[in-house]
Structure 1
Amino acid sequence: MKSSNSKTVLFITGAFVHNSGWDTWKTYFESKGYKTLAPAWPYKESAPAAELRNRQPNDTGLAALTLSELVDHYASIAKSLPEKPIIIGHSLGGLITQILINRDLGVAGVGIHPVPPQGIIPYEFSFLKAGWKALGLFTSLKKTYLMSLSDWQYAFTNGMSLEDQKSSWEANTIPESKTVARGGLTSAAKVDFNKPHVPLLITSGSEDNILPPSLNIRNFKAYKKDNGSVTEYKEFAGRNHYVLGQPTWKEDADYILEWLERN
């Protein structure tokens, strides 16, 4: 086992979804000898998805949450651990992973279909279609945003059966802070692409609408390649943005585990 022999994995949840989406990953990584944790965002602790939806749209604490506060939340968790963790994040959690790795708070990082840092312009139509409502333009920032089933079907679960789309929405979808979403356009989302860093893997899925491979490739290419740092990219066929819960999730997890062994 490489990655500085760390046996602790910090999973970071993305926007719109419940942190229980990591449960099968946690169990699997623990079966391989790792200690894992997948803490919720602030204002989402210890509540199931349905309960969080019942707070919509008047969860003022969550509505006011900023991306900087969210990053600091996970930075504090990483610093509190007895050893530097392996950090693995999905979507917005993948952006936070990159920021924490840039701050030297982990021994390795994996961004699964990550939101790109500041400076990488997401001009893809599918990204704009899937994500523009989360910015809440011309709406109150004092109210949270909840992804509808139809938006979930396009942004996360395209290509899946209607039954699976509905059940995954019920199990995972929760209200979100528009302020956090807007933070992705600010310096709160900045990383130093030239700074040497611990091994970093970026993965993408061929069927992902909200964060398509072309966007993840630009993210990967932004990192300086001649500073001795390991930065790798892997695209998986057939994965949409619900990659953590697709039937193929174990193949992705195995690839990540093998990559960690190599690095």
Structure 2
Amino acid sequence: METTSSKNKNIVFVTGAFVTHHGWSEWQAYFESKGYNTVAPAWPHKDGTAEELRNRQPNDTDLAKLTLDELVDHYAAIVASFPEKPIVIGHSLGGLITQLIVNRDLAAAGVAIHSVPPQGVFPYEFSFLKAGWKALGLFTDLDKTYLMSFEDWQYAFVNEMPLDEQKAAYEANTIPESKRVARGGLTSAAHVDLDKPHVPLLLTSGERDNIIPAHLNHRNFEAYAKNGSVLDYKEFKGRNHYVLGQSTWKEDADYILDWLDKNA
């Protein structure tokens, strides 16, 4: 297997569902201050402000028709466009996309933050089902997008944060979603060959995450074959699913930077 280079300084940040890619802005600035070159591309049909995208809801038919296969291929093409394999860091559904890109041998290393589990790692946790089932849009029109309500946002992303911070985070980040993408997580589009050797991969979780509970992340980690590939897991205390924007985000970033320094 090809080994990673200690000189690799390119990072592709991969955004999860329900939120704008602008949530990576502080992470980009911080990683760039440490010598990395970063990009955080938007999903197809999501290149706008949160307010602009919400104003299209529910009739953004282009976004509504987006599938998980198309989304993964979108990011895979971006990653493959680099002259050397970049590091890929993704959050939530972006974490699953990171795992899929690592599985395709396109990355130099991967970091999956509070990752949606791949096919076969069954998410039986009640909090996962409560936080995420509406996005599947069962018995609703697939050609209309789904927008998470503030009440659902409070439970799924920003639980245990002050109300004013919850509201500010919602206004800045929450955007409509494709139900087809959400359903894709239950299909072969989310399949990862967990026995296959891979480049260094770090999975992180948060103690207070409702939508992707820590024990679900740990089962994701445990599902990988122990085949000599670098595979690490870290649970952070006090983190909910809004981990990228919590006041503790630099602690998480520093842990990842240290891990990359050792492994990528």
Q: TM-score, normalising length from structure 2?
A: 0.98
Using the alignment, how far apart are the partners of 1:228 and 1:159 within structure 2? 39
**Cα shift at 1:3:** 4.4
Runs of 5+ unmatched residues, structure 1: none
SS of 1:88 mapped into structure 2? strand
Alignment of 1:21-170 (within 5 A): 21-45=23-47, 47-170=48-171
1:141–1:178 contact (8 Å) kept in structure 2: yes
Q: Which residue number in structure 1 is paired with residue 250 of structure 2?
A: 250
Using the alignment, how far apart are the partners of 1:6 and 1:102 within structure 2? 19
SS of 1:40 mapped into structure 2? coil
| Letter aligned with residue 33 of structure 2 | S
**Cα shift at 1:109:** 0.2
Using the alignment, how far apart are the partners of 1:109 and 1:223 within structure 2? 14
Using the alignment, how far apart are the partners of 1:48 and 1:191 within structure 2? 32
| Letter aligned with residue 6 of structure 1 | N
SS of 1:214 mapped into structure 2? helix
Count of residue pairs brought into register by the alignment = 260
1:3–1:260 contact (8 Å) kept in structure 2: no
| Letter aligned with residue 174 of structure 1 | I
Using the alignment, how far apart are the partners of 1:250 and 1:89 within structure 2? 16
Q: Which residue number in structure 1 is paired with residue 189 of structure 2?
A: 188
Residue 234, structure 1, aligned to residue 234, structure 2: yes
Q: Which residue number in structure 2 is paired with residue 211 of structure 1?
A: 212
- For the structure 1 residues 248 and 3, does the alpha-carbon distance in structure 2 shift closer, same or farther, using more than 3 Å as the test? farther
Using the alignment, how far apart are the partners of 1:48 and 1:65 within structure 2? 19
SS of 1:203 mapped into structure 2? strand
Q: RMSD over aligned Cα, in angstroms? A: 0.8
Using the alignment, how far apart are the partners of 1:169 and 1:257 within structure 2? 28
SS of 2:62 mapped into structure 1? helix
Q: Which contiguous aligned blocks of 4+ residues in structure 1 show a shift greater than 4 angstroms?
A: none
Using the alignment, how far apart are the partners of 1:123 and 1:134 within structure 2? 16
Residue 262, structure 1, aligned to residue 262, structure 2: yes
Identity %: 73
Using the alignment, how far apart are the partners of 1:175 and 1:44 within structure 2? 9
Residue 12, structure 1, aligned to residue 8, structure 2: no
Using the alignment, how far apart are the partners of 1:211 and 1:252 within structure 2? 17
Alignment of 1:168-183 (within 5 A): 168-183=169-184
